[in-house]
Amino acid sequence: MKNVVLLGPPGAGKGTVAARLAREFGFLHVSTGDLLREEVARNTPLGQLAKGYMERGELVPDEVILSMVRQLVDAKKGILFDGFPRTLAQAEGLERFAEVDLVIFLEVSREEVVRRLSSRRVCSRCGAVYNLVTKPPKAEGICDLCGGPLVQREDDKPEVVARRFEVYMKDSAPLIAYYEKRGLLQRIKADRPPEEVFQAVSEVLRA
Q: Which residues are catalytic?
A: 14, 86, 120, 153, 164
Closest CA to 197 of 11, 5, 14, 55: 14
Nearer to Zn ion, 107 or 144 (CB): 144
Any idea what DSSP says for residue 114? H
What is the Cα–Cα distance from 184 to 103, expressed in whole angstroms? Answer: 6
Nearest-10 Cα torsion for 153, 61, 50, 67? 120
Nearer to Zn ion, 1 or 139 (CB): 139
Any idea what DSSP says for residue 155? G
The reply to whether 104 sits near Zn ion by the rule CB under 5 A is no
The reply to whether 75 sits near Zn ion by the rule CB under 5 A is no
Chosen residue from 89, 128, 162, 176 binding Zn ion by CB under 5 A:
128
SS3 label, residue 121: strand
The reply to whether 188 sits near Zn ion by the rule CB under 5 A is no
Burial state string for 56-74 with b = 16 or more CB within 10 A and e = fewer than 16: eeeebebebbbebbeeebe
Number of C-beta neighbours around residue 139 at 10 A: 10
Burial of 195: CB neighbours in 10 Å, binned 0-12, 13-18, 19+: exposed
Chosen residue from 110, 125, 187, 192 binding Zn ion by CB under 5 A:
125
Nearer to Zn ion, 59 or 145 (CB): 145
Build a one-symbol-per-residue string for 137-156: x at contacts with Zn ion by CB under 5 A, - elsewhere.
Answer: ------x-xx-x--------
Nearer to Zn ion, 54 or 146 (CB): 146
Build a one-symbol-per-residue string for 28-67: x at contacts with Zn ion by CB under 5 A, - elsewhere.
Answer: ----------------------------------------
CB 139 to Zn ion: min, Å: 12
Residues lying near Zn ion in the complex (CB under 5 A): 123, 125-126, 128, 143, 145-146, 148
